[in-house]
Structure 1
Amino acid sequence: MINDQVQKQQGGNASTNLQGQSIVINQGISYSDARDIALDVYKSNFLQLSHDAAELARTRAEELTDSFLTKLKETNETAIEQMKQPAMQAALYEAQKQYAKSGDEYMEYMLVDILVQRASTPERNTKQIVLDEALEVVSKLTNVQLNILSLNFGLTRLSKNSIINIDSLINYINNELLVFVNPNSDYHQSWFEHLAYSGCVVLLDATWYHDIPELLLGNYPALFQKGFDEKEFEEFVGKPISQFNTLLMHCFHAVNLYQFNLMNEKLLVDKANELGIENELTNKLKQYFNIRLMNKNEVKEWLPVIPHLIFDLKNLTAIGHSDLLLLFAGRSL
């Protein structure tokens, strides 16, 4: 019939078919919805303060919320959906509460960064649990203590592939390590004890202590080879040095000497295996690599670029690592 409205549709696999005279589609929450949710959670839970204090706290909570949602939209917009989850709302409220009380800009930066990571981690796993815990702990730490964690991480857990020569090592020390050292600060034992109390580190027995030259030597051994000449190499290895040109280069510390061109013994062994060098000879190369390394005192003498202060921070490297340390350090570096 003329007035019949025949409606027919087809759809392929995994398609969404919609049919009707008037259709409203709502497949998720918007930025505005997420902001309203976040501020409603804050208003419903935060302390009742005097008028001026309440207004300041509300302004700070809004600042943090806007910073978080803006960054989340830029980096992982689909994660805004997590704002419907009670656990994510609780995480955001914890961050709002901490920043509303302090107003510290650096803390806001840390909290926003943690929140973005939290929203991007929907599954309940170790990372999500650590992120939730970090939102509470970060407010208990001073900027100096956060710098201690970053410096510790950079020295004890980080080996950068971009460090391939002396210049890049010195650049790393000056621009990525020393920025966390305040020469005017007296590093009190109580600061490290508080880090342990906060769950960020584990204080270790002094026998676990490795000083900083030793750590640099362990992370970047090829940069601290003393070098060798052709005769010394051939006497130890028992083969002409010309057979190993692929593994050698001129020494960083003496242009008339040679050294291995791989950063550590593992890479040296891998390269030797790739070249088909027999195991017995590979073991000799590995031994010679280690024999020709500086000791930690020689490293210390060679690195005047590092202020003496950094060598005296024994507490700095005499601490173990918790997941929170790795989180805070990773965010700060």
Structure 2
Amino acid sequence: MMFNGQTIDSGDNSTNIQGKEVTVINNSGLSYSDVKDIAMSVFKSNFYDLGEKVENIIQDRAEKILDDYLEKICSKNPKYIENTQNPDIRYVIYEAQKNYARRGGESTKKLLVETLVNRTVIQGNCIQELVLNEALEIIPKITPKQIVILTLIFINRYVNYRIEYPIEHYSYLNKIIRSDIEIDNNYSIFQHLEYASCLNISVASVDYTMVIESKFPQIKGSEEANKIIKEDRELSLMCNMWNNSQMCNANLTSVGIAIAVANIKVKTGLDYDLGIWIKE
């Protein structure tokens, strides 16, 4: 891997690092410690000199997100460590470290790690690779509340349920994702999400009754859907927030979907296949 057009010549099975330039020639396979040493060296070489106190904070954050990422990769399957030799993956590792080091935030870190793991695992699917790269760039640029909004739009608009799936489970999923956050018609929140290429705001709207009616095949008609909403506290809250904000006008982009899928895994452990919604 090489940056900035300058090279360092090295022999087989060696790794050289100099400032902003990194050349890696390694034929013997990578271990956890190899990847960590290389990634931290790249990070230190490229981040600005901001003073000892700030540098300590930045280094701690960069190392923490890297450790969490590598541990998660190894627990998933140690063979995925080899994928970090891909120059594109090496670059997004650095970008994730940089963005977390700048702003911190536990929820941001978890979402960056989950998305980075997804990006490392996926190989040979160009569109998903590009979408996940963009998601890693966007996550630090939006707020936790905005991430919740994207996820709620996703599970209410883009996920359908089989007839045997209990509506109570769907209601509980909404509650876990919402985390007691209230959503109102704050135009700037949705405007920024649109600017960040996470969603598009349409003139047309979808009433929450229609959402519930179309989501569950066992519900027959809007009257039954309304009754179910009124009898369930969480669905009633969602109905009010949905119909009185721009959630009812929003369509997610591929990046918005990728962020929502990663957030569901972080919050609930549910592992949705991104390929259902994003295909070549």
Could you tell which deviates more after superposition, 143-152 or 302-311? 302-311
Residue 212 of structure 1 is matched in structure 2 by 208
1:178 equivalenced with 2:178 (yes/no): no
1:307 equivalenced with 2:254 (yes/no): no
Aligned counterpart in structure 1 of residue 247 of structure 2, from 313, 316, 333: 316
Contact 2:150 2:252 in 1 (8 A): no
- Once the two structures are TM-superposed, the CA of residue 82 in structure 1 deviates from its matched residue by 2.2
> What is the distance in 2 between the residues matched to 1:99 and 1:59?
10
> What is the distance in 1 between the residues matched to 2:257 and 2:126?
16
In the alignment of these two chains, the number of paired residues is 232
Contact 1:148 1:180 in 2 (8 A): no
Change (3 A) 1:140 1:176: same
1:294 equivalenced with 2:221 (yes/no): yes
Structure 2 letter corresponding to 1:220: F
Structure 2 unpaired stretches of 5+: 1-26, 265-280
Contact 1:210 1:317 in 2 (8 A): yes
- Once the two structures are TM-superposed, the CA of residue 294 in structure 1 deviates from its matched residue by 2.2
> What is the distance in 1 between the residues matched to 2:137 and 2:242?
32
> What is the distance in 2 between the residues matched to 1:219 and 1:186?
23
- Once the two structures are TM-superposed, the CA of residue 169 in structure 1 deviates from its matched residue by 0.1
Contact 2:183 2:241 in 1 (8 A): no
- Once the two structures are TM-superposed, the CA of residue 127 in structure 1 deviates from its matched residue by 0.5
Contact 1:137 1:198 in 2 (8 A): yes
1:100 equivalenced with 2:26 (yes/no): no
Contact 2:242 2:248 in 1 (8 A): no
Pairwise mapping of residues 38-57 of structure 1 onto structure 2 (< 5 A)? Answer: 38-57=39-58
- Once the two structures are TM-superposed, the CA of residue 202 in structure 1 deviates from its matched residue by 1.0
Contact 1:41 1:89 in 2 (8 A): no
> What is the distance in 2 between the residues matched to 1:92 and 1:183?
31
What is the DSSP-based 3-state SS (H/G/I as helix, E as strand, rest coil) of the residue aligned with 2:200?
strand
> What is the distance in 2 between the residues matched to 1:183 and 1:132?
28
Pairwise mapping of residues 109-124 of structure 1 onto structure 2 (< 5 A)? Answer: 109-123=110-124
Structure 2 letter corresponding to 1:332: N
Contact 2:182 2:241 in 1 (8 A): no
> What is the distance in 2 between the residues matched to 1:121 and 1:95?
17
Aligned residues: percent identity?
28
- Once the two structures are TM-superposed, the CA of residue 221 in structure 1 deviates from its matched residue by 3.0
Contact 1:150 1:332 in 2 (8 A): yes
What is the DSSP-based 3-state SS (H/G/I as helix, E as strand, rest coil) of the residue aligned with 1:202?
strand
> What is the distance in 2 between the residues matched to 1:43 and 1:65?
13
> What is the distance in 2 between the residues matched to 1:302 and 1:116?
38
**Deviant stretches of 4+, over 6 Å:** none
Structure 2 letter corresponding to 1:203: I
- Once the two structures are TM-superposed, the CA of residue 83 in structure 1 deviates from its matched residue by 2.2
Change (3 A) 1:311 1:94: closer
Contact 1:95 1:111 in 2 (8 A): yes
Structure 1 unpaired stretches of 5+: 1-25, 225-292
What is the DSSP-based 3-state SS (H/G/I as helix, E as strand, rest coil) of the residue aligned with 2:77?
helix
1:148 equivalenced with 2:122 (yes/no): no
Contact 1:110 1:331 in 2 (8 A): yes
Residue 131 of structure 1 is matched in structure 2 by 132
CA RMSD of aligned residues (A): 1.8
- Is the radius of gyration larger for structure 1 or structure 2? 1
Pairwise mapping of residues 223-302 of structure 1 onto structure 2 (< 5 A)? Answer: 224=219, 293-295=220-222, 297-302=223-228
Structure 1 letter corresponding to 2:137: E
> What is the distance in 1 between the residues matched to 2:50 and 2:99?
15
- Once the two structures are superposed, residues 220-277 of structure 1 have per-residue CA deviations (whole angstroms, 9 ceiling, x without a partner) of 131x2xxxxxxxxxxxxxxxxxxxxxxxxxxxxxxxxxxxxxxxxxxxxxxxxxxxxx
- Once the two structures are TM-superposed, the CA of residue 184 in structure 1 deviates from its matched residue by 4.3
Contact 1:61 1:96 in 2 (8 A): yes
Contact 2:65 2:97 in 1 (8 A): yes
TM-score, normalisation: structure 2: 0.77
1:332 equivalenced with 2:263 (yes/no): yes
